[in-house]
Amino acid sequence: MAQELLEVKNLKKYFPIKGGILGKEIGQVKAVDDVSFTVRKGETLGLVGESGCGKSTTGRSILRLIEPTAGQVLFDGKDVTAMSKEELRRMRRDMQIVFQDPFASLNPRHTVEKILEEPLIVHGMGNAQERKKRVAHLLEVVGLSAYHAKRYPHQFSGGQRQRIGIARALAVNPKLIVADEPVSALDVSIQSQVLNLLQDLQKEFDLTYIFIAHDLSVVKHICDRVGVMYLGRVVELAEKNQLYASPKHPYTQALLSAVPLPDPEAKIERIILQGDVPSPANAPKGCAFHTRCSAVMDICKTERPPFRDGGQGHFVSCHLYN
């Protein structure tokens, strides 16, 4: 089995809710609430869930783009959560991010050359001439051309802008890329081109990905393992084929029942979830899914189910399997 590159242990990110005239803390939004998983070298781990489930906050907390409230992130054995600013700056060379909205994440006043050169300057990589060469190379690697370097982000299509975002992440030769919904803002016709590019780059540069998406159908082709998140927690995590063939958690079962099947004749019973996702500021006690679960039992309302490996690395957090 491949070695682990990243270990996330009991990660939490709580945002304070302030109120009253004095702006005192009156509550907390538990955006990430005790999340643990590992990522193996060279694999793609998908993190999937509805909007507000904490998947993007998890990705950003791992990189410390936002400070975690508690927990540990071990990257290549080094504790990211305990790093000084300078150590973190150096570590960022190994851990990069691709954002969802390529337009918002690229400075509109900078040329593509300047955008791609910036991380090289920050990390002291090469002289001006070497950096210019590297920018031209990066553009070719992501399917653009060296002459695009002089253009500005608004002169590109959405798919091309995401290619620039990917080139920027690749510039410093990272080991891990957190791809935060990298295709959600793109036309369906462009999505598969960007997914294919990510897969090709992974092979070529020996990359490890955390791929964040709100849709199980998007991650199906690109991921090796998939973790499903609900209200700040990972409720199920397994090898892709196992998760899609025999999902255990009632929430995963409901999400999968909504994924269209390639065979139009095939029938799958759609599971309609009752009610809305509760607010993470007021998450239900016990199992956070109990307000919408058709299999709910008394214990679910009071005791949080442990996140356990039920065999072959198929983790699930549900009292049905205890």
Instruction: Identify which of residues 160 and 317 has a Cβ nearer to ligand SF4 in the complex.
Output: 317
297 contributes a contact to ligand SF4 by CB under 6 A: yes
CB 21 within 8 A of CB 71: no
CB of 252 to ligand SF4, least distance (A): 10
CB of 289 to ligand SF4, least distance (A): 5
Instruction: Identify which of residues 195 and 229 has a Cβ nearer to ligand SF4 in the complex.
Output: 229
318 contributes a contact to ligand SF4 by CB under 6 A: yes
**Which residue type sits at 120?**
L
CB of 278 to ligand SF4, least distance (A): 13
Question: How many of the chain's residues bind ligand SF4 (CB under 6 A)?
Answer: 14
CB of 281 to ligand SF4, least distance (A): 20
Residue with tokens 């090289």: 120
SS3 label, residue 25: strand
Which region among 112-120, 143-151, 260-268, 283-291 touches ligand SF4 (by CB under 6 A)? 283-291
Between strands 95-98 and 78-79, the pairing is unpaired
Burial class (CB in 10 A: 0-12, 13-18, 19+), 305: buried
What secondary structure does DSSP assign to 244-300, as a single string?
Answer: HHS--SHHHHHHHHTSPPSSTT---PPPPPPSPPPPGGGPPSSSTTTTT-TT--GGG
289 contributes a contact to ligand SF4 by CB under 6 A: yes
Nearest-Å Rg of the Cα atoms of the chain is 21
273 contributes a contact to ligand SF4 by CB under 6 A: no
Which region among 10-18, 72-80, 293-301, 307-315 touches ligand SF4 (by CB under 6 A)? 293-301
CB of 282 to ligand SF4, least distance (A): 17
CB of 302 to ligand SF4, least distance (A): 11
Residue with tokens 């927690």: 233
- Of 224, 155, 166, nearest to 194 by C-alpha is 166
CB of 250 to ligand SF4, least distance (A): 5
CB 305 within 8 A of CB 317: yes
Between strands 24-40 and 4-19, the pairing is antiparallel
Position among 98, 120, 139, 287 found at the interface with ligand SF4 (CB under 6 A): 287
CB 293 within 8 A of CB 250: yes
Instruction: Identify which of residues 129 and 274 has a Cβ nearer to ligand SF4 in the complex.
Output: 274
296 contributes a contact to ligand SF4 by CB under 6 A: yes
Kindly write out the interface string for residues 31-50 of this chain, putting x where it contacts ligand SF4 by CB under 6 A and - elsewhere.
Answer: --------------------
Q: Which residues bind ligand SF4 (CB under 6 A)?
A: 249-250, 287, 289-290, 293, 295-297, 300, 305, 318-320
